[in-house]
Amino acid sequence: MDPRERPEKRRYVVLVFVDVNPDYYELGEKKRADLTAPHIKELTEHLKYVSLVSLRGTGLAEDTMIEVLESDSLIEIEKMMDTYKAGRKAAYGRIKNVIVTEKCMVREMTG
């Protein structure tokens, strides 16, 4: 297959930029854990279809987190985002921007 062609099965990577309310970090470790545990349990049902990685970088605003979602199905990603927005922890994180991408080209080292 020509590496410029799209593969038969598509793989989507979605970057979700979340503004984290600074009050979240002031809750204390115990309260954050109590808030996070049910949130994680709610999201777990989607992990059969969607992988999730949370990133915090030094080049970002202090209160910005990037959630990286990857799946073969945009519908499953959307379901996971709906669950995220409806969860208790969502009061402390507002989705600011979403970038949807598609893996479509294989890059290989040559030489």
Amino acid identity, position 18: V
> How many Cα atoms within 13 Å fall on the side-chain side of residue 35?
17
Report the pLDDT value the prediction gives residue 7, as an integer from 0 to 100. Answer: 55
- Considering only the top CATH level, what class is 11-103? alpha beta
Q: What is the pLDDT of residues 7-31, one digit of tens each?
A: 578 899 999 999 888 888 888 889 9
Q: Where do the structural domains in the chain lie, given as residue ranges? A: 11-103
Sign of CA dihedral 14, 20, 26, 30: negative
Distance CA(110)–CA(68), nearest Å, equals 29
Q: What is the pTM of this model?
A: 0.77
Within 10 Å of residue 46's Cβ, how many Cβ atoms?
Answer: 20
Q: Which amino acid is at 48?
A: K
Asked whether the predicted pLDDT for residue 111 surpasses 70, the reply is no
The set of residues, in sequence order, having a beta carbon less than 8 Å from that of 48 and lying 6+ positions away, is none
